[in-house]
Amino acid sequence: NQSSDLWRQFSLADIDLIALGIFVTAFFVIRKFKASILSVMAGSAVVGIALYLWIG
């Protein structure tokens, strides 16, 4: 089965740490401060673009 082969090739090294960090931070901000989801999404986009341009 093709889909089961995809999951066998996955390793922890394949995780995008920048995206994971942005997700965890956004989740924390939404839960802790009851922030607007749209503003957190927009802020995450700005931070993500800045980090990916800076780090490469």
Residues contacting 30, CB < 8 A, separation 6+: 37, 40
Q: How many domains does the chain have?
A: 1
Token pair of 36 as six digits: 């607007």
Confidence of residue 1 (pLDDT cuts 50, 70, 90): low
12 lies in a domain?
A: no
pLDDT: is 10 or 43 the higher one? 43
The whole-angstrom separation of Cα 29 and Cα 34 is 7
Confirm whether 48 is domain-assigned.
yes
Using DSSP's 3-state secondary structure scheme, residue 35 falls into coil
Residue the block writes with tokens 């901000």: 29
pLDDT per residue as tens digits for the range 15-31:
999 999 999 999 999 99
Whether residue 10 lies inside any domain: the answer is no
Structural domain includes residue 35: yes
- 8 in a domain, yes or no? no
Q: Give the domain extent around 26.
A: 17-55
Whether 31 is covered by a domain: the verdict is: yes
9: in domain:
no
